[in-house]
Structure 1
Amino acid sequence: MGSEPKDAERGGDEAIIVRDAGARGPYVIVCEHASSVIPPEYDGLGLDPETALGHIGWDINAVDVASRVARALDAPLVTAPVSRLVIDLNRPEVCCECIPARSEDVPVPGNADLTAQAREERLARWHRPFHDGLGALLDRRAALGLATFLVGIHSFTPVYAGVARPWGAGVLYRASRAQGERVARSMAEASGEKVGCNQPYDLWKHSNHTIPFHGDGRGLPAVIVEIRNDLLATKAGIARWADMTVQALRACSSEPFNPDDRDALLHVRA
């Protein structure tokens, strides 16, 4: 589990992996936190290797869910081959969390006191090519007249900062409120778990890049599915939550999407 998707296409860029780029289903699946790999030239960022393999380095087993979901939906799968400790591709360039000097309560020595040049090198090597590649894929689909529902797949920890998280999963969104709430309802009904809307992270309050930039910015329906990582600790758990995600996404395909709905765009959950 947690390996690079099979049949992945790296193309000419090290920063992005695209599998089944020509798939014509109405979804594109993205997993920015698919890998815990820190390239050797970063010297482990000064971290103990075991620490870097934990949740601070990647979304544990999210890529395995994403792979199953993409195959079931005949969807392209876009993943990154590098740890979010090197660069967090789901944060804007200007966000301090894009190259985190601290992750949760863990200092990241290799990211502390980066020079402007070192920061620019990270962005130019990893962040921009990834998003340029994802943007190009979405633009090609638009040119072909293919409908696209953009879906991010992530996982989260059962406890954060000493506080237990009661959700088995969460669905995050901004403009795609109708789709997000429908996906959450479907997953809750299928799983028997509590499934949060804009939980455990609220996209209106937390820095995020892929959904606002590539989804809302293009007028595409777009959500993130977050699954608690202890529920993905076995192959059976991965398969179960992947299948429920597929069913939930299919269930919401009839929901109308209006990217010019100001109420949705201005909606903030308490």
Structure 2
Amino acid sequence: MLKLQNISKQFDSKVVLNDISLEINTGEIVSLLGQSGSGKTTLLNIILGLTTMNTGKIIFNDIDMSQVEMKNRGFNIVFQDYALFPNLNAYQNIVYGLKNKKGLVTEEELNEYIEFLELKPHLTKKIGELSGGQKQRVALARTLVMKPKILLLDEPLSALDGVIKESIKERIKLIAREYKLTTIIVTHDPEEALTLSDKILIINQGEISQFGTPQEIINKPSNDFVKEFILKQLHIKKQNIYNLFGEEND
């Protein structure tokens, strides 16, 4: 279990996060959803250890990780731009992080990740030869071979569309289930969050507007901001969402 306790962050005089507290269970997919500048990416970076917080605690499996360096937390991220090495082929990118982690995965486990993400036909291709969906799968494989305790994804679907986007969405769900891997996703897209996540944290101006299941957020929005953001501001048709989750909330 991951617990965030009273996390606050300030850059100079600007408060970016204010008293964020929540609990995420093992194997859950949780989306951090909000507008640009809401604080969601800052919160992801605080969990990763890339950004320090002003106040609060991060507790993982009853261990206080608040002062633990990023490299020792065991939380791994797939960045929005994938951050792959263009001079290396897909296989070399996947195993790159294992150079200094001898014995972390067996050959059998490595092949399992490659098969699971359907990358075998693409292993010798350079990154420039891969489609967006294939690059995303290579980035996921590179992260999975490091055996992360928590998987962090920064806008994982933003560069994808159509069938490829739906395919990667299903793959993320499968990864969370297959490996019981707690997964935290930053997104600005309500429809993406609603169809991908077990729970959603909606952040508005650095504060929690609502934390709950997609059904709770659709059927019982906690305030006007949630209702406006989910149903109007990003132009999601009400009926599409109600078809997914049932009961309409007037």
Please report the TM-score for the alignment, with normalisation by the length of structure 1: 0.30
Q: Which has the larger radius of gyration?
A: 2
Give the TM-score, by structure 2 length. Answer: 0.32
Q: Relative contact order, CA 8 A, sep 6+: which one is greater?
A: 2
